[in-house]
Amino acid sequence: MSIPVFYEPNPIASPFLSEEESIHAHRVLRLKSGDPIFILNGIGQKFEAKIDQSTSKKTTFHLLKEIENSALPAYSIHLWIAPTKQMERMEWMVEKCAEFGIQSIGFFHSRYSERKEIKTHRLEKIVVSALKQSKNLFLPNIYPIISFKELVKQLSNKEHEQKLFAYISNPPSPSLSKSIQQNQAYHILIGPEGDFSTEESAALLASDWTPFSLGKAILRTETAGLAATHAIHLLHEN
């Protein structure tokens, strides 16, 4: 059996698993004192560790050694997306983006949004699970929903980061391969299924946001978020 992997953000100061992770260790995997485990801290480090004691409330461990320590990648992807009506579609998109690797996923509501509220707890569990499965070392941040206006305002001071929004226009906007410079922090904005309103698009075009196209096919919102994330990774492939 392969050695199980757990997530604990601060394994040096807090050498025990969360209640959720403990339940998994104790009830599902039935780990016992002395069993080997891996610990990810979600910010680039992976440790070898051994279980000290395991109950379904709290599993304690001690670290043996650090086996990976990765610097942040030279580029980062921040996805800002208007959530779909069916939350399931956002859940799988978050899982896939976390598998590919992403710095953060945040949500916004705009004029034609079908959903103005979301709960992030399930999404936080999904990114932890994708972290463990994908062997990535960085846990994506999940941000709660804010308004389109607030989001644009918050990002307005990020002058040295690349801000791009998916825009369906005729003639089509350039693709990401033509729009991005290498090794930047990218903010990718994906509007709701009903698209941005004319005023919203105009506000983005009038500021420092660059429109981009994802190709000829009309993609669903969640597919667009995934496609943009994947495209940026491919554009940084060695």
- Minimal distance, residue 73 CB to a copy of itself, in Å: 10
Closer to a copy of itself at the Cβ: 43 or 234?
234
Closer to a copy of itself at the Cβ: 160 or 178?
178
Closer to a copy of itself at the Cβ: 100 or 112?
100
- Minimal distance, residue 56 CB to a copy of itself, in Å: 26
Q: Between the CA of residue 7 and those of 34, 45, 90, 105, what are the distances in Å?
A: 18, 11, 22, 19
- Minimal distance, residue 189 CB to a copy of itself, in Å: 20
- Minimal distance, residue 166 CB to a copy of itself, in Å: 14
DSSP assignment of 63-118:
EEEEEEE-PPPS-EEEEEE---SSHHHHHHHHHHHHHH--SEEEEEE-TT-S----
Closer to a copy of itself at the Cβ: 111 or 233?
233
Nearest to 3, CA basis, from 58, 88, 67: 67
String of b and e for 221-235 (b: at least 16 CB within 10 Å)?
bbbbbbbbbbbbeee
Interface with a copy of itself by CB under 8 A: which residues? 92, 96, 99-101, 133-136, 175, 177, 215-220, 223, 226-227, 230-231, 233-234, 237
